[in-house]
Amino acid sequence: MKEIVVISGKGGTGKTSITASFAVLGSVDVVVADCDVDAADMHLLMQPDYDFAEDFYSGEVAYIDQNNCISCGKCVDVCRFDAISVKNKLFVVDPISCEGCGYCARVCPTKTIVNKNRLAGKWYISNIKTGSIMVHARLGIGADNSGKLVAKVKNEAKEIAMEGRKGFILVDGSPGIGCPVVSSLSGANFVVLVTEPSVSGLHDLKRVYELVKKINIKAGCIINKADVNPEKCAEIVQFLIENDIVHLTDLPYDENFTRAMVLGQTMVEYDHGILKELLTESWEKIKQLVIN
């Protein structure tokens, strides 16, 4: 079982559209893990059935037991996040503002404030239209993605893949270079970098590749919308050569990307021309690189 992670550094490069296409191409042999939990959207293309759901807790939030509150107001004085206010003569915590630091609980003279585990969202195991399984998650309002949640989603996908003797885990990675991305990457056998020929596309590609290099994972790159800026594209190709990154393919700008998305389809289902051909070739290439 091999783990392939798709990341982009920059948003809007087509990472999820490309990942979803690979999921369709890989069909039943691929367990999908959507670790882009801040803006999870793989489910729009994969038609999940939310077969299994479980609450996910992360971080803490202050809780005031109204029965023992003496309305002294000390909690309001010390809260640096202005998370406690008085409503109808009762002291209440705004869970979105509360950072769970525990200062209020510490100063509360009647010990009526306690920190409780924060319900951050739900995670799911779904059957998807490819005939395979996807592990994904949905965060509540104001909750942030974390290395812990990404690790959870990935480990579940790994277990499912092992049990079902699947060939691949395909991970839609988190954006940026922070904690969730490190967690998306660790354990991977191959990373696909999706970029676009723009100043920020190249800048963020360099940034995220620093991280990939640091944790010793073989990488390949797909330049999406390659024809919209040939000069920038050449610059990216040069960067790939200098860093020994496999140049997987260039995808031309194509409005079929949007048309497919509107219909809830992946590119390889909607398009029957060059895009489908290039994506199929890339997927085959990635499989070869991962196995060797």
By CB under 8 A, name the binding residues for another protein: 58-59, 146-149, 151, 179, 182-183, 185-188, 211, 214-217
| Pairing state between β 52-64 and 133-139 | unpaired
Q: How far is the CB of 194 from another protein (least distance, A)?
A: 20
Residue number, 36 or 271, with CB nearest to another protein: 36
Q: Which residues contact 134 (CB under 8 A, 6 or more apart)?
A: 23, 31, 32, 33, 34, 42, 43, 46, 48, 125, 126, 128
Residue number, 92 or 246, with CB nearest to another protein: 246
Residue number, 21 or 146, with CB nearest to another protein: 146
Residue number, 48 or 100, with CB nearest to another protein: 100
Q: How far is the CB of 139 from another protein (least distance, A)?
A: 12
Q: How far is the CB of 100 from another protein (least distance, A)?
A: 10
Q: How far is the CB of 148 from another protein (least distance, A)?
A: 5
Q: Which residues contact 43 (CB under 8 A, 6 or more apart)?
A: 34, 126, 134, 136
Nearest Cα residue to 112 out of 77, 72, 81, 85: 72
Torsions phi, psi for 21 (to 5 deg):
-65, -40
What is the DSSP secondary structure assignment for residue 173, as one 8-state letter? P
Residue number, 24 or 211, with CB nearest to another protein: 211
Which structure tokens are listed for 97? 């503002």
Q: How far is the CB of 283 from another protein (least distance, A)?
A: 22
